[in-house]
Structure 1
Amino acid sequence: MAGGHRFAVEAAQVRTQLSAGQAGTTLTVERLLGLSCEDAQNSASRRILLMKHSAGDYAVEVSNPVELRRLEINAIHPLPSLIAARTKLVGIRGLAIGPEGLTMLVDFRRALIQNQD
């Protein structure tokens, strides 16, 4: 959860998961996605995802819980055009609707590039 929303990233983008404080420089998921950093929790309730990248791995600090879950293909939907045109969230690629509610599918690599522009 970040900013009160549930997010998911493709597992193939994640190299490993670490406890908060186990990585050097990290980006917070809130900053990476363009959310209010006021929503960031204390470090005891956060984890670090070490993300794969061709230019070198990078660390993203995320809120607990961090879970590996399978999404059924029929639960995944492309991002509606109106939302894509109006959202200020960086890196959002699609939506998944399941029993736990709405999950926003994000691409941290794309968000990282957009944050560098």
Structure 2
Amino acid sequence: MAFTEAARWGECCQEAGLDQRPAVCARVSTGCYTAEGAGDIPSLSDFEDAYQGQWGSFRDYAEQPADDIGLTDGWPEEAERYFDWGAWTHNLRFDYAVPDAPPTEGCPCSATSELA
């Protein structure tokens, strides 16, 4: 990695902060991110707009917005019982880039913990 690119990564990682660095690396690892300029440095404002937090599973995440919008409010009990959460969650996942866990290697931010 060229010195100037390493310096830009360092600035990005420092700006992201210790708490968000693993999530930024995870987003970069999916390949579904917006880069700033001509390189591979992620846009932190784009990351902040897209970031939905860390969840134990995608199903845990999927149930939260379903509750927020009242997806099954007013449904008869039988309909709620037979709703296929697995299929709904599977289909919803296509709308997101969902890394299973933040990478600890291979991302320049993972090597910059001493910057904070």
What TM-score range do you get, normalising by the shorter chain?
Answer: under 0.3
Length-normalised TM-score, structure 2: 0.26
Question: By percentage of residues, which structure has more strand?
Answer: 1
Considering fraction of residues, name the structure with more helix: 2
With a CA cutoff of 8 Å and minimum separation of 6, indicate the structure with the bigger relative contact order: 2
